[in-house]
Amino acid sequence: MPYRYSRWDGSQSGFELDAEQVLAEVADDLLYHGDLHAALRRALQSGLRTPDGRALEGLRQLLERIARRRREELERHELSGLTADIARRLDEIVDQERSGLEAGMDPGEAARRHQQLDELPPDLAGRFRGLQDYDFADPDARRRFEELSEELRRQLLQNQFNRLAQGMGDLTPERMAAMKDMLDELNQMLAQRERGQEPDFAGFMSRHGQFFPGNPQNLDELLEQMARSMAQMRALLNSMNPDQRRQLHELAEALMSDLDLAWQVDELGRHLQGAFPDLGWDARYDFSGSDPLDLAGAPGVLESLGDLDELEHLLRSATSPAQLSEADVERARELLGDVAADSLAELARLARLLEEAGLIENREGRYELTPKGLRRIGQRALAELFSRLARDRIGGHEVERAGIGHERANEHKPYEFGDPFALNVGESVRNALRRRGPGLPVRLTPDDFEVEQMEQLARSATVLMLDLSLSMPMRDNFLAAKKVAVALHALITSQFPRDFLAIVGFSEVARELRPAQLPEVSWDFVYGTNMQHAFMLARRLLAHESGTRQIIMVTDGEPTAHLETGPDGGSEVFFHYPPVSATIEKTLAEVHRCTKEGIRINTFMLDASAGLRSFVERMTRMNRGRAFFTTPETLGDYLLVDFVEQKRRTRRAG
C-alpha cells in the first residue's frame, strides 16, 4: 500500500494502541491477581506504553495534572479586585461630577450637591444606591455611571448563567423583560417537573431559544448547563471573605431590583440546587495570587475550575474504561494539553479495543477473557519464556503457528490422498515447470504437488500440578508458576494437539482447573500443601489416557496436609506445620500408586529448603522421575525445555 509523509501539525493522533498491545500490557497483572476487570482498572490507574515506547498517562498522572493546573489558577488570582475595581470607577465618576459642579452652577446648589456626594455611604452597595438616586449635573459623569451599571448587570448575569449570557445581546429594556419572562417560565417548568409532570420543552425553546446559543437538545441538558454556571458563582461567593461576599450580594440586589430579576434568579437557583445536588454548590477556592480577578474575568476562571473539578470527579469514580467515554476530551485538551487529552481518549478505548478484537467480553457487567484471549495470553507467555533461551537448546522450536502433531523430516514426496497438506512450494513449482516448460503463468495441477515428509511424534499425557498455597505469592513464586502453566498449555495445544494436558491446583485440597480458568485462577488464602490429594486426582485423570504419562509438579513447599477418613466416613483435611510423618507417608503412598501405573513424576522446586529436598529425594528414588531446583526466573527455561526434549527423546526411541 502507498504511504504519504507530511510535517507534524498537531492534528495527528499522539498514540496508536492496538488490542494485542493492550492485552500484553495487562497480562502479568491478570496472571498474578486472576482478575481481568481489576487488571484493566489498574491499567487505567498506572497507564500503558505504546509500541514505540511512549507513555500513555494513567489516571494517577492525569489527576496530578488536574491538581497542578488548579493550583496554577488559584495562585495566579486574588479576589479583592472583584469589588476594588468597581469602587475605583465609582470614585472616578464622583470626582468627575464634583469637577462639573464648579462650572456654571449656582454656588448654593453646588454646595448642596457637594454635600450629597460627601454623604454617600462608604460601602460599595450603599455608594452605588446613592448614585442611582443622585441627579447628575455633569452629563459625562451620568453617562459613565449608566455604562458602569449596564456593564455590571451584564457581568453579574454572566457570572450567574455564563453561556446563557452570550445570548442576551444588548441589555435593552425589551431584552431584559424577555429574559424575565424566560426565567419565570423556566421556574414554572421546574415546578411542573417537581410535581411529576413533563413540561413543554419544545414550546419553551421556540419562544426563548435566542437565549441559548448552545442549542440544548432537552430540558435536562439546558438545566445542567445553567446549574453548573450557578454552582460556579456560588463557589466564587463561598471563596470570598464575609465582607467581600456581603458587598457583592448587596450590589447585585441594587443592580437587579429595578429589573425585578432577583427573585426569579433566586428561585431558579433553589430549583436547580435540588435537581443537581452534586455539582459542588458548597465548593470554595483558596485564591492566593496577586492578579486581581474582576467580574469580567471571573466566568472564564470559574468555568475552568469547575470543569477541572468535574473531570477530577469523573476520573476518581471511574472503575472501568467505558466510564471515561463521558469525558469531554477537547475540553480536557484545552485545560491539560494534548498529551493528557490523547491519553484520556485512549484509556476510554481500552476495553472496546479488546472487545472488538474478540479478546474479552462483557459478562453481566464484568470483563472476562474469550478463548481467543486465552490463546493470546498463552502465546505471549510462551514466547516470553522461549525468547530467553538459546535457540539451539530447543532446536528453534516455533510457537507462533498451530501444528498438527508432526515435525518436518527435511524430506519431500509426491502428494498422495490422505497426506497432511504441508506443501513444498518450491518443489511443486519446479514439477510444473518440468512438465510444461518455462513461461507465465505457471499452472499447478494436483500431480505437481510435493509435500513435506513428516515424523510422527509419540502421544503423551501430562498433568501439571500447580501449587496454589499461600506461600507461593509470599515468596514471589506465584506469577512465574502461572506463566509456565499458561505457556505449557499454549505449547501443547499449538504444537502437540494430540497430547493430553490437565491442570490440578492444590493447596489445602486439590481441584482440577480448566484451561479457560488458568488466567483468572489465584492463590488460595488457606494454609496447607496437600500433594497427596493432588497426586490422587492426577492419577485418576491419567488413568484412561494412552501414550507416555507424566505428572509435572511445581511447588515451593513440602507436603503439610493430607486427607483422612472422618467419623462419618467422609474425607477430612489434616494440616500440620512442620509436616508430620503421617502426611509424608500418605503422600508417598500416592506416589507409589502412580509409579505402579507407569506415571512418571517430574518435580520443579522453587524453594530449596532441607525438608523439601529430603521429601523430593525420597519421591524420585521411588518413582524414577527427575527433580529440578529452580528459581522463578529460570522455572520456564527448565520446565519447557525439559518437556520438549522429552518429546524428542520419545520420538527417537519410537
Question: What is the mean pLDDT of the segment spanning 317-326?
Answer: 85
- 3-state SS class at 654: coil
Window from 169-173, 198-202, 359-363 with minimum mean pLDDT: 169-173
Whether the predicted pLDDT of 553 surpasses 90: yes
Same domain, 466 and 604: yes
Window from 254-268, 328-342, 507-521 with minimum mean pLDDT: 254-268
pLDDT of 145: 92
Last residue of a domain, one of 159, 182, 209: 159
Q: Give burial (CB, 10 Å; 0-12/13-18/19+) of 488.
A: buried
Question: What is the mean pLDDT of the segment spanning 467-489?
Answer: 89
C-alpha span between 153 and 151 (Å, rounded)? 5
Whether the predicted pLDDT of 398 surpasses 80: no
Question: What is the mean pLDDT of the segment spanning 423-448?
Answer: 83
Same domain, 468 and 438: no
C-alpha span between 533 and 536 (Å, rounded)? 5
Q: Is the residue at 232 inside a domain? A: no
Count the neighbouring beta carbons within 10 Å of the beta carbon of residue 396: 9
Same domain, 550 and 443: no
Give the helix ranges, DSSP H, for 34-138. 36-46, 59-74, 81-101, 107-118, 124-133
Whether the predicted pLDDT of 456 surpasses 70: no
**Residue 378 near residue 487, CB atoms below 8 Å:** yes
pLDDT of 587: 97
C-alpha span between 449 and 427 (Å, rounded)? 8
Which grid cell sits at 209? 431559544
- 3-state SS class at 214: coil
pLDDT of 411: 66
Whether the predicted pLDDT of 362 surpasses 60: yes
Q: Which of 298, 254, 307, 280 is nearest to 79 (CA)?
A: 298
Question: What is the mean pLDDT of the segment spanning 193-221?
Answer: 84
C-alpha span between 339 and 554 (Å, rounded)? 44
**Residue 83 near residue 248, CB atoms below 8 Å:** yes
C-alpha span between 238 and 235 (Å, rounded)? 5
* DSSP conformation letters of 149-163: HHHHHHHHHHHHHGG
pLDDT of 408: 54
Q: Which of 556, 555, 576 is nearest to 564 (CA)?
A: 576
Q: Is the residue at 210 inside a domain? A: no
Question: What is the mean pLDDT of the segment spanning 472-496?
Answer: 87
Last residue of a domain, one of 159, 188, 204: 159
Q: Mean pLDDT for the chain?
A: 82
Contacts of 56 (CB under 8 A, 6+ apart): 15, 17, 47, 48, 49, 50, 343, 346, 347
Tell me whether strands 55-56 and 48-49 are parallel, antiparallel or unpaired: antiparallel
Q: Is the residue at 13 inside a domain? A: no
**Residue 162 near residue 296, CB atoms below 8 Å:** no
Question: What is the mean pLDDT of the segment spanning 453-475?
Answer: 82
Whether the predicted pLDDT of 318 surpasses 90: no
Window from 91-100, 361-370, 549-558 with minimum mean pLDDT: 361-370
**Residue 186 near residue 204, CB atoms below 8 Å:** yes
C-alpha span between 150 and 176 (Å, rounded)? 11
Placement of cell 411542573 in the chain: 192
In tens, the pLDDT along 167-190 reads 455 566 677 778 788 888 888 888
Residue 512's H or E segment, with its range, is strand 510-513
**Residue 535 near residue 594, CB atoms below 8 Å:** yes
pLDDT of 257: 64
Report which DSSP code applies to 579: P
Count the neighbouring beta carbons within 10 Å of the beta carbon of residue 22: 24
Q: Is the residue at 447 inside a domain? A: yes
Report which DSSP code applies to 497: T
Confidence grade of residue 56 (pLDDT, cut at 50, 70, 90) = confident
pLDDT of 579: 94
Confidence grade of residue 209 (pLDDT, cut at 50, 70, 90) = confident
Q: Is the residue at 574 inside a domain? A: yes
Window from 121-125, 165-169, 289-293 with minimum mean pLDDT: 165-169
Domain span at 556: 460-653
In tens, the pLDDT along 585-618 reads 999 999 999 999 999 999 989 887 888 999 999 9
Which grid cell sits at 8? 507534524
Q: Which of 388, 408, 363 is nearest to 36 (CA)?
A: 363
Same domain, 446 and 503: no
Last residue of a domain, one of 96, 128, 159: 159
Whether the predicted pLDDT of 49 surpasses 90: no
Which grid cell sits at 647? 518429546
Whether the predicted pLDDT of 86 surpasses 60: yes
C-alpha span between 305 and 544 (Å, rounded)? 70
Whether the predicted pLDDT of 322 surpasses 60: yes
Same domain, 113 and 141: yes
Q: What is the CATH number of the domain that holds 536?
A: 3.40.50.410
Same domain, 520 and 633: yes
Placement of cell 526411541 in the chain: 653
Share of the chain above pLDDT 70, in %: 85
Task: Report angle CA 155, 157, 159 to the nearest 5 degrees.
Answer: 70
Q: In the beta sheet, which residues pair with residue 406? A: 456
Same domain, 616 and 487: yes
Report which DSSP code applies to 527: -
Whether the predicted pLDDT of 572 surpasses 60: yes
Window from 37-41, 183-187, 648-652 with minimum mean pLDDT: 648-652
Whether the predicted pLDDT of 2 surpasses 60: no
Overall number of domains in the chain: 3
Q: Is the residue at 290 inside a domain? A: no
Cis peptide before 559 (omega within 30 of 0): no
Same domain, 545 and 577: yes
Same domain, 579 and 442: no
Q: Is the residue at 429 inside a domain? A: yes
Which grid cell sits at 190? 421546574
Report which DSSP code applies to 327: S
Window from 248-262, 462-476, 554-568, 584-598 with minimum mean pLDDT: 248-262
Sheet holding 548-555, edge to edge: 510-513, 500-506, 460-467, 548-555, 600-605, 627-629
Q: Is the residue at 29 inside a domain? A: no
Confidence grade of residue 405 (pLDDT, cut at 50, 70, 90) = very low
Same domain, 649 and 546: yes
Window from 356-360, 428-432, 570-574, 647-651 with minimum mean pLDDT: 647-651
Same domain, 452 and 472: no
Same domain, 533 and 428: no
| CB < 8 Å & 24+ apart, contacts of 190-194 | 190/223, 190/268, 190/271, 190/272, 190/275, 191/271, 193/219, 193/275, 194/271, 194/274
Whether the predicted pLDDT of 394 surpasses 50: no
